[in-house]
Amino acid sequence: MARLFGTDGVRGVANADLTAELALGLSVAAAHVLARTGAENGHRPKAVVGRDPRASGEFLEAAVVAGLASAGVDVLRVGVLPTPAVAYLTGALGADLGVMLSASHNAMPDNGIKFIARGGHKLSDALEDSIEELYHKHAHGEAWTRPTGGGVGRVIDYDEGFDKYVAHLLGVLPNRLDGLKIVVDGAHGAAARVSPEAFAVAGAEIISIGDDPTGLNINDGYGSTHLEKLKAAVVAHGADLGVAHDGDADRCLAVDASGNEVDGDQILAVLALGMREAGKLRENTVVGTVMSNLGFKLALEREGVSLVQTAVGDRYVLEEMKRGGFALGGEQSGHVIVLDHATTGDGTLTGLLLAARVAATGRSLADLASVMERLPQVLVNVPDVDKSRVDSSPEVRVAVADAEAELGSAGRVLLRPSGTEPLVRVMVEAADIDHARSVAGRLADVVKSALG
């Protein structure tokens, strides 16, 4: 039986893979697993439920709310808000769990269910397994224990969530943004209202794009996966910078005044130096992933900052941050976690802190981001191969060793099996893009020959 939970909740095509029945059943199971402690301690369990603007989120929210309330959980329905807002409110309101309905940067037909544990934290693998096991048990005929009468959950529209989240964001800003002109791209998603509001209240002059969600246009030509319109708007309006979110706004990428992309690695580098200056970069360390650009690692080394790298995925970054007591971590894709102020990646917070650094230093974003030079990075997907043998194949090992010797300290090789598809990802970094492409092509040919 295929596992329902992926790297970030349960995701699929809404009303095909992700049905109302599945959403309801999973929510009942999640209530039994995540709200158990609260119920045992004698208080009525409570959940925070939010969503992005996808049309399918309307019926899926209804199913989730019905499932939770039928299991005796009181529901605070916060409406359309970013994933980090739901995580924050789950912790701030003392809820036993949170639920976010979103498929993040995926196209509109997809949707997803992300469960959040008490305190606003992502679920461990063990908790996900418990929810899934309980769901399957009851899907195959075992009856739920259901409360009746006054024991059923109540449903309340919590309209204060928007203002409470904005106040939280503004409360952690080190300085105001007066004098900055900023373009904000909300991807027609969950941050379409909240992010421009936060930037404006912080003092910036705002030009807002991707801010008209219809339920059908999320991520469609806008947001962190489609930066073209943001780049054009920044240049056309003479803005100091632009920020772009994905559909659920746990990511942030930026654009400098000339329309050049500033990716997650560069954002982390800028924030790391600012936090070190303020004495807030604990252990003088940043957490990244194995996909972090080599230029990022070299820049941190030059600045005397350590880099700890994890497997790809913001959940692994977060786990390492908690384990080591680190304050800052993230991914090249724009998932940035500032653990003193957020329990997950928060795109609006990231953008605000980046803009605050520009305002505080009086330096342009391009100048700040120049602390690191992005080395050319080539990624080749090799499909239809036995990915389980990528680490044990003698031919592949020899080819990788030869490539590493050829690149020396100015380059890097990474072979990574896909977590969801029968393919191997070949990543090569080098000082020259043509050299990177050449090495990546040769390695891909060896992988195809040896593992095909």
As a whole number of angstroms, the distance between CA 188 and CA 191 comes to 8
As a whole number of angstroms, the distance between CA 372 and CA 376 comes to 13
Any binding-site annotation on 386?
no
Any binding-site annotation on 265?
no
Give CB contacts under 8 A, 24+ apart, made by 325-329: 325/282, 325/283, 326/282, 326/283, 326/285, 326/286, 326/287, 327/275, 327/280, 327/281, 327/282, 328/268, 328/271, 328/272, 328/275, 328/281, 328/286, 328/287, 329/268, 329/286, 329/287, 329/288
> Could you identify the residue written with the tokens 């949170």?
98
Q: Which amino acid is at 92?
A: A
Contacts of residue 343, Cβ cutoff 8 Å, sequence gap at least 6: 84, 87, 88, 91, 119, 120, 121, 122, 318
Half-sphere exposure of 41 (CA within 13 A, CB side): 9
449 is catalytic: no
Q: How far, CA to CA in Å, does 221 sit from each of 11, 217, 337?
A: 21, 9, 26
Structural element, H or E, at residue 228: helix 228-237
Is 345 in contact with 336 (CB distance < 8 Å)?
yes
Any binding-site annotation on 250?
yes
Question: Considering 27, 104, 224, 292, which one is annotated as catalytic?
Answer: 104
Q: Identify the burial level of 190 via C-beta atoms within 10 angstroms of its C-beta, where 0-12 means exposed, 13-18 middle and 19 or more buried.
A: buried
Q: Tokens representing 337?
A: 């976690």
Structural element, H or E, at residue 262: strand 261-262
**Please, where are the H alpha helices in 50-160?**
56-70, 83-92, 125-139
Torsion angle defined by CA atoms of residues 262, 263, 264 and 265, in that order, rounded to the nearest 10 degrees: -90
Any binding-site annotation on 248?
yes
Binding residues: 104, 246, 248, 250
Residues marked active site are found at 104
User: Residues annotated as binding site for Mg(2+)?
Assistant: 104, 246, 248, 250
